[in-house]
Chains A and B, each alone.
Chain A
C-alpha cells in the first residue's frame, strides 16, 4: 500500500493528539470519584497511557512503520482473522464516534440549548466534521493546529480569570486524599486507564502519515503529557472555584465553574468560552474516530477513496448517536459499566498486546527459519 501521499507535519500531529485527548474529557467530570485526588487519577491514567503508547502501540508501529492498524492486523494475524479484527475496530471507532457525538449533544442541550432536539445539534457537528474530513487528513491536521493555538488562548484566559478572581480558594484542594488510596484505584480501573488516554489506539491509523523524519510515538507522549497537564488544570479550576461538594455532583463542571467566576464586576458569565472549548475538542475527537473508521473501511472493502466513505460513516455516527441510548442516564451508565469492560479494555489493551506478541513470535520464528 503506497497510498500515503498525504503527509502531516509534527506540530500538526501534536496539536491533533492534544485536542483529541481533551475532547469530552476536559468538560465532563473525570476522576472525580477520587474527590480531591482527581488530578492524581489523571496523572496515573496518563502514565498508563504512555506505557501503553510506547510499549505496545509504539512497538507495533516500529514493526510496520508504513502500515496502519487495520493493515498490520492482517499481516500479523493472517488474512481472515486480521480482516475480522479490522472490521471490529471499524465498529468500535464508529461506536465511540457516536458516543462522543451523543456526549456533545447532551451537554450542549443541558447547558444552553434546552429546547433544541439533540438530533439537530448532532447533525450540525457531524456535518461540520464531515466537511473537513472530505478535504483529507492533511487539512484535518492543519485545522487541528489552528484550533490548538485557539484552545491555548482559552486556557490562558481561564487561568487569568481564576488567578485574579477572588472566587477561587486553593484550600479546597485539600485534603489531597480524603479517603486514602482506595478511591484512586477504583477511579483508575477501568474508567480512567482507558479514557481518555487509552483511546489513542485510534492514532495507530494515522502514524504512517507523519513525515518520516519525525517519531510519532515520542510526539504522542509529549502531547499526552501536555493534555494531562491541561486536564489537571481543569480539575484545579473546578475544585478551587466550586468546592468538591458541588463539583462531584455536576454534569458539566467546567461550565459551572466559569459561570461562577467574575472579575471586577464586568468580566462575568464567561461560561460561553467553555462551550467553545467543548465544540472545538469534540470536533476533533469525533473527527478522528470518523476518519479512522473511513480509513479502515477503505482498506477492508478495497475502495480507492476514503473521502467518499465519509458520507456513510457520518450517517452511521449521527443515527447511532441518537439510537444508542434513550436517556442521558442510560448513556452515562453504559459509558461507565459496559463500554470500559467490553470495548475499551479489549480494543485498547487485549487486542494490541495480542497482536504485538503474535508479531514478535512470528518475526522470531520467521528469522529463525530463514
Chain B
C-alpha cells in the first residue's frame, strides 16, 4: 500500500517538475514574425557633416501575397535616418518603425557615392561584428543618384526592389559580364590585404527619377525610368578612385577570371560590329614575375565562343575566315584588358590582385615591396596571351545574307 502511495507521490512530483517546462520553452528573446520588420535592402551614405545617412527597405507584410499583380498595397516601404554609427541608426529607427528591424534577410546593400569617396572601411565593422547580418549580401555603389532613392525605386516584374537588383546583378554577371556580384566579405578581405583593392558594381537610376517612387509609374506598361546594374567602381585605400565602364569593365573581369558569358561584336566584311560572338566559356590565369624590381604580368586567357549572329555574307563554313575572326576576337579582348590595366595603373590601384599573387608565391620578396606596391603596380608590364576557339555557328551554316550576296554576284 505504502509502495503504491510512494509511486503516486513520485509520479506527481515528476509531473510537477515538468510543468514549468511549458512556461520556459522557446527562446529567451523570441520575436514573433508579426513583430518584425524584415529589411531587404539597406542604403548607406554620408552627410556633409560626416554622419551616416541610412535607409532601410522593409517588406510590407501583405504586399507580397498577390504576386505580379498590382495590389492595393505598396510592396515595400523605406525608412530613413541619420546617425553617427550604424548600430545607433538601426536602433534609433525604432522611433519611426512600429516593428523591430530584422536584418538576416538583407539582400542588397547600396553605398552612396559620397560615402565611397570619403572611404568605406568604417562601414564594414558593424556587418562583421553583428551576428544577425549575413556577409553574403550583395554590395553596390550608387552612381549618380542618392542610395536611399535607389532602394525606394518601384520596379516592375519583381515586387521587391532588392530582389530585382539582385536578379539584375546576377544575370548581368552571368550573361553580359560587365558587372559582378560582390559580397561583403569579399570586399572586407580586399580592404585588408595590401596586395589587392576591392571593386564593386554600380547601380544607376536612368530616366525620370521623380516618378520612381510613385505607384502610378508601375501602372504604365513602360515606366519612365529603370534601374541598371552597371559599371564597376574601383577603390584605393578604401576610397572610390574611379569607374570601369563598358569594355574596360569587361577587361577587368577577364583578368579577374569572372567572365562567364558575354557578347562581343566583331567586324564582318568591312562592316564594324557585324558579327556577334557569344563567349560560352572563359578561364584566365595570371602569372606574375618580378625582375629587377619590375613587375611583369602574363595574363593567359583561354576562351571558347559561338557565333550568334552575322549581319553580312560572312563565309562561316570557311575555316580560314573563322581563323581571321578569332584573331580579331583576340585583338578585341587584348584591347579590353589593356584598357582596364591602363585605367587601374593611372590611379595606381591594384584591383587585379597582382600583389596578392606575389604575396602568395614569393612571400619574402613581397615583404620588401609591400610599402611601394602602388608604384610597382603602376609601372607593371602586362602581356596578354589569348587562346580563343570558335566552336559552333548556331542552327544555320551560311547566312541568309551570303546566299543573296552570292546570287547578286553571279547575276
Chain A residues in contact with chain B, CB under 8 A? 110-117, 120, 171, 174-175, 177-179, 242-243, 245-246, 249, 256, 259-260, 262
Contact = CB atoms under 8 A, between A and B. Distances in A.
A260 B184 CA distance: 11
A242 B131 contact: no
B134 A175 contact: no
Interface string B27-59: 111000000000000000000000000000000
Given A120-B28, A174-B360, A114 B193 contact: no
B189 A246 contact: yes
Contacts of A178: 359, 363
Given A110-B131, A174-B361, A242 B28 contact: no
Contacts of B136: 260, 262
Contacts, number: 47
Contacts of A242: 185, 189
Contacts of B359: 175, 178
A113 B189 CA distance: 27
Interface in B186-242: 188-189, 192-193
21 contacts: A110-B131, A112-B131, A114-B131, A115-B29, A116-B27, A116-B28, A116-B29, A120-B28, A171-B360, A174-B360, A174-B361, A178-B359, A179-B363, A243-B189, A243-B193, A245-B189, A245-B193, A246-B185, A246-B188, A256-B135, A260-B185
B128 interface: yes
Interface hub of B128, B135, B185, B359 (most chain A Cβ within 10 A): B185
B29 A245 contact: no
Contacts of B361: 174-175
Contacts of A243: 185, 189, 193
Interface in B265-311: none
Contacts of A260: 135-136, 185
> Chain A at the B interface: mostly helix, strand, loop or mixed?
loop
Nearest to B31: A115
Given A114-B29, A120-B28, A245-B188, A175 B363 contact: yes
Contacts of B128: 246, 249
A259 B189 contact: no
A29 B393 CA distance: 54
Given A115-B28, A245-B188, 11 more contacts: A116-B28, A116-B29, A117-B28, A175-B360, A175-B361, A242-B189, A243-B185, A243-B189, A245-B192, A246-B189, A259-B135
Contacts of B192: 245-246
Nearest to A255: B131
Nearest to A115: B29
A111 B131 contact: yes
A243 B187 CA distance: 11
A116 B28 CA distance: 5
Nearest to B193: A245
Contacts of B189: 242-243, 245-246
Given A113-B28, A242-B185, A177 B363 contact: yes
A260 B189 CA distance: 14
